[in-house]
Amino acid sequence: MTEQVLDVSNDVAAELASIGDGILEALRERLKINILLRGNRLTIAGDDVRVAEARAVVDELVELVETGQEIGPATVDAVVKALDQAENVQDVFGDVVWRHRGKQITPKTVTQKRYVEAIRNCTVTFGIGPAGTGKTYLAMALAVAALQDRQVARIILTRPAVEAGERLGFLPGDLLAKVDPYLRPLFDALYDMLDAERLNTYMERGTVEVAPLAYMRGRTLNDSFIILDEAQNTTPEQMQMFLTRLGFGSKVVVTGDVTQVDLPREQASGLIHVQDILGSVDGIAFVRFGHEDVVRHKLVQRIVEAYKLHAEETGTQRRK
């Protein structure tokens, strides 16, 4: 049995003790060690190897707090995985994609970091994986940053309106009223990243456009950051149509989860179809997320994994 005692700052102690001791409990559960915080004194006890591993994780958590990063129970898993993969933790978590009202948006896992780098370096990036892995949110943060840095002139966010069969003309009301139920999650994310007044101005000027996929047809989108969300619900024809809207000075991000296809069973998914066609094309990146990249509530990660296991055991997964 080995014991190490660390003296930590008030800020670090407060952060470690936050969320109902959730961070300390995550350390205990993940690293199989005893850990106790009393005042500013943190005590780690266990066998030699586990204490050494825990100390490395705690040191990284301390550095994250001291550099202004927010940490939580999910950060413990992410730091452990980064260290396991011999990644520089500060390179992963210290990459601030966007700041708004004191909140910093950063990668939370190694895969998220690779995704951010792919978007920065490639013209077209596909982010494929389960809900909660930050695919759309990070892409939108990068889009807002690119707009503010004048790398692009506008942001275009789109989703296939599956529930309406893309036949939006049959729905009552103007465009915003028609698409709001399908695009509300994108608006919510934008309000996380921009002041409401600024966002409303951007939308009035067409600097930020949120529209269903059907409204992309026949356009060429230059100097734009274009995000297609829920792409598993596109047909191969819609995917081709969308990708060929790409104009000069533009960047495209396509996100989706191939296990959550809502198309008719006989209809192929454009997101599955496109991987075989564009997988080896220069300038196009595919980043695949797993259940270990889910950064929502820990229970969400368990739910995702349970459904995945059930689908594998029963053969009920809708799309392979």
What pLDDT is recorded for position 297? 64
Same domain as 217, residue 117: yes
Same domain as 139, residue 285: yes
Same domain as 186, residue 76: no
User: Residue 67: pLDDT above 90?
Assistant: no
43, 61, 93: which is the final residue of a domain? Answer: 93
Q: Enter the tokens of residue 1.
A: 């049995």
SS (H, E, C) 20-32: HHHHHHHHHHHHC
Q: How confident is the model at residue 1 (pLDDT cuts 50, 70, 90)?
A: confident
Query: Beta partners for 225?
Result: 155, 251
93, 126, 148: which is the final residue of a domain? Answer: 93
Same domain as 228, residue 147: yes
Same domain as 292, residue 188: yes
Same domain as 105, residue 204: yes
Same domain as 103, residue 36: no
- Mean of pLDDT values over 260-278: 93
Is residue 183 exposed (0-12), middle (13-18) or buried (19+ Cβ within 10 Å)? Answer: buried
Same domain as 178, residue 266: yes
Note whether residue 320 is domain-resident. Answer: no
Note whether residue 68 is domain-resident. Answer: yes
pLDDT in tens, 116-144: 999 999 999 999 999 889 999 999 999 99
Of 139-153, 207-221, 303-317, give the lowest mean pLDDT range.
303-317
Of residues 48 and 296, more confidence is placed in 48
What pLDDT is recorded for position 43? 96
Could you tell me whether strands 124-128 and 224-228 are parallel, antiparallel, or unpaired per DSSP bridges?
unpaired
Helices (H) and strands (E) in the chain, counts: 12, 11
Q: Do 311 and 94 contact (CB within 8 A), yes or no?
A: no
Q: Do 227 and 255 contact (CB within 8 A), yes or no?
A: yes
Same domain as 269, residue 185: yes
pLDDT in tens, 186-243: 888 888 899 999 999 999 999 999 888 988 999 999 999 999 999 999 999 999 999 9
Q: What's the structural domain count of the chain?
A: 2
What gap in Å lies between CA 194 and CA 159, rounded to an integer? 21
What is the reported pTM? 0.73
Q: Enumerate the H helices of the chain as residue ranges.
A: 10-16, 18-31, 48-66, 73-84, 89-93, 110-121, 135-148, 175-193, 196-205, 236-243, 270-278, 298-314
What pLDDT is recorded for position 295? 74
What pLDDT is recorded for position 320? 44
Note whether residue 239 is domain-resident. Answer: yes
Q: Do 179 and 211 contact (CB within 8 A), yes or no?
A: yes
CB atoms near residue 104 (< 10 Å): 17
Listed residue (43, 138, 56) closest to 89, CA to CA? 56
93, 110, 140: which is the final residue of a domain? Answer: 93
Same domain as 226, residue 85: no
> Residue 26 belongs to what domain range?
2-93
